Structures are given as C-alpha cells and as structure tokens.
Chains A and B, each alone.
Chain A
C-alpha cells in the first residue's frame, strides 16, 4: 500500500514536471484558439475584411469546414457521413456528359494559378473573373515531370494514368476527386475545385484535368523529356 502511494507520488511528480516542460514549447495544435467562439470570430472577420461582395464572407462560414474546424479534422461518424453526403450531392457532369475532356487544355488549367483572389478595388494582383481560372496543382503536387516546380502537400501524380489505367471506374473517381475531394475524405486537405463558395473550376475544366492525368499521350504518363541543356551535355 505504502509502495503504491509512493509510486503514484512519483508518477504525479513526473507528470507535473512534464507539464512544466510542455509550457515552454507551446503546441497549439490541440487548442487552436477554441476559447474564441465562432460568433466572436465572425464578428472580428466582418470588422477586419473588406469586400464589395457580401457573398465573399461565406468563404469563412462553409458548413463542411465548420465541422472540420470544430472537430480538428476528426468528425464523428455521423458528422463524416453528413459531410460526404452533402459534398457528393454537389458533383455534376460536364454538359456533354463526359468525364474525360481535352488533356491539352487540362495542362493549362493544371499549371495556371490565376483565379479567385479578391483585392482592394484597383489592386493589380486580384484575379479578374473574365479570365478562366487555373487550379495551381503544382502548389501541392508533382504532375508533369517536365514542369520545373512542385509542392509536397499532396502525393505525386506523375505517371498517374500509367499506373492506374483508363478504366471507367478510375476515370469517374479521378473526375469526382478533383471536383470535390471532400466527397471521399470529409476533411481532406485538398480544395473542392468544383463546389463551394469561390470554387475555381468549371465541370468542363475538371474533365480536362482528368484527361491530363489519365490520357496515354499526356506528358504526365510519359518519360521526362531531355532539356536542350541536357541533350547538349550527352
């Protein structure tokens, strides 16, 4: 009994010292400012951001992201199925009914970073809505091996079609994943390109990107081309 008390005493002391150590290296990933209510946050948002279009404030109040924020991206099974259902219902086909579009157009949308940026009136870097948007895929993914930059937030998509083939199921999945990644993973890190306030792509563009990833002739599914400098070197 005495030993037990002693051991729990040591444990308590160990826990206390751990707490002290933790206090120096602050990890906010569990707290995330939760003492501020969503209503207080929205009030601060309304005071702090300027826009000519009141709809832009919906970008702070998306129902799916609200659940993801409240649960730190760990929705309950019930919440998860609500999200999946809502996001799945957003998915629409292009007007011609085809999941696969033009891969050469898709290359343009994959590389493009234009679209959706809201500026102060007259601000040069705001994106004019009359120009087609890009998806800026290279921000997060490696795609065409000939493209000089890529990010690492998402998996590499190089050889995407070569590895998976072009069967009907994979074509449909690829289209839907780009259109609305949250119809598969409730709090996916990937933006919903075809749905949600301010979404960047049309259904036709999503189909073009689907083709860029899957078409056998697309550079995504072919070896990296030698650059002029590399060829000269050989």
Chain B
C-alpha cells in the first residue's frame, strides 16, 4: 500500500467520524459499511510495515534480530503461525500467546532481561491502553506484523499438549468465574444473547461465529484511539470495567483467556483478517 492511499484512508476515516447510523441495526451490522469503506486505507497497515522493520532490525544486548524466533512452526516461519497461537513451547515450558512469545524471543534471542522488557516494551504497552491514547507500542507493531502473516487462514487450535488443555481449562474458569467489585463474570455479559450494556451490544464470545469475527480482527485499528490494539488489550479493557487488578501481558490468565476464546473462534473456521477496524473499544 502506498503512502498516498494510506493518507486517503486517514482522511476518509476522519470524514466517517460524523456518520450516524440507524439505532435499529445491530452494532455489528452498523459498522459493516464503515469497515468496507476503510478496507483500502486502514491506518493499521502502518503497524504492519513498522512491525516488519522492528522484527528484522538488530537490537538488544545481543544486537540480534527476531528473525529466528520460533512461533511454533519452526524458527523464522511466520506464515500461519498466529493462527495456531496460543500454543505450548518446549523451550520455555509454557503456553504462550503471540505477545508472550515475542517477549520470550526478545529475552532469548536479543538478550533483554525482565527489567528491560518492562521498561522498554511493557510500560508503553500498558500506558497507551488508555482511551484515545495514540502513542505507539513497539510490541503491538511486531504483533500486528506477525499476525498479518496468518491473514486468510482460520484459527487452528488443537490442544494436543497437556499444558494447552490445562491453559484452556484455566481460560474457561476465568471466563465463567464471577469476580471483581461488580460481582460479574465475562460470561454474565458475553455468553447471553441480546445483552446490551449502556447502549452497546455485546458480542457473544461462546458463539463460534462471533468469536471468530472478533478474535480474527485483533490486532485491530481502533478509530476512537487512533491506535492498534491486541487481544490482550481487549480482555484488559473488560477486566478494568469489572474493577479487577491489571492483567499482565503474556501472563497465565492473559494467555488462557485468549486461548479459550480463540478455540471458540476456531470452531467457526472464520478467516483471520488483521488489522481489523473497530470504531471504539
């Protein structure tokens, strides 16, 4: 995509901000026209280009690039890797999400320690998760680049390894468990058809079709924020509203909650299409 069409996209986006839509249409259907109008000028494409540069650039204490990072299909194999994440990795003996795996490779290949990961990558990843914060997270840029290499493929989640099964069960428990100051579970809002929260229709994440559409859109460009957001961010925004503490990117609950929802998405065979376009959170 050339720069001109990118800017045209941004201008189209600014104009679309004032469009109003009939209240009767479902929230998802409302934004279909909006999404198709942006298809050729999605500002999220910048994240792919910049993420690619970061991925192949030498960095860190070992002055190495990430290009030998193994996302599950072999060192440096990116095509279709995101479609099979989260998955178990023998070298870390953990089930890892895309962001979690990028962090592991930053440590193993580039030699960053935990403190450096926190200060150079996670601090900005966390701080820019606020509404209308358009500061760029390098971790999101790299994640968007890797994820885009699975475009056109459905999620394929096997749960072959015992730790993958365990993580899936932990994700299920997290999804259905009532907790936080609002006494709610994820399921209270996202497993019941027709739920509307303060005027916003909620996606049913136990419905494979809807889960496929939602999970396959992340990392997604969020217009209200002018930023690209990942699956971690989407879950953190819900946990924030549930008045729970801060979810660490790549942590067991982050990974498990993604795995649970991506497994649902996989049942629909919907194709991954990132960066998706979201009007708001």
Contact = CB atoms under 8 A, between A and B. Distances in A.
Interface residues of A, number: 59
- Greatest chain A CB density within 10 A among B127, B129, B194, B244 is at B244
Contacts of B38: none
B198 A124 contact: no
B252 interface: yes
Question: Taking chain B's interface residues, is the majority helix, strand, or loop, or is none over half, making it mixed?
Answer: mixed
Contact of A136 (B175, B177, B198, B206): B198
A48 B243 CA distance: 15
B195 A153 contact: yes
A196 B196 CA distance: 25
Contacts of A68: 178
A27 to B, nearest CB: 8
Interface of A: 24, 26-29, 31-36, 40-41, 44-45, 47-51, 56-57, 59-60, 62, 65, 68-69, 113, 116-120, 122-125, 136, 138-140, 148-153, 182, 188-192, 196-200
A27 B144 CA distance: 32
Contacts of A50: 245-248
A122 B129 CA distance: 11
Interface residues of B, number: 50
Contacts of B267: 24, 26
Interface stretch (B14-22, B109-117, B165-173): B165-173
A56 B181 CA distance: 10
Task: Name A's interface SS.
Answer: loop
A113 B199 CA distance: 14
Contacts of B243: 59, 116-118, 198
A110 B254 CA distance: 32
B180 A59 contact: yes
Interface stretch (B52-60, B183-191, B215-223): B183-191
Contacts of A31: 172
Contact of A48 (B129, B133, B176, B254): B254
B244 A49 contact: yes
Interface in B63-115: none
B131 interface: yes
A113 B182 CA distance: 12
A181 B14 CA distance: 44
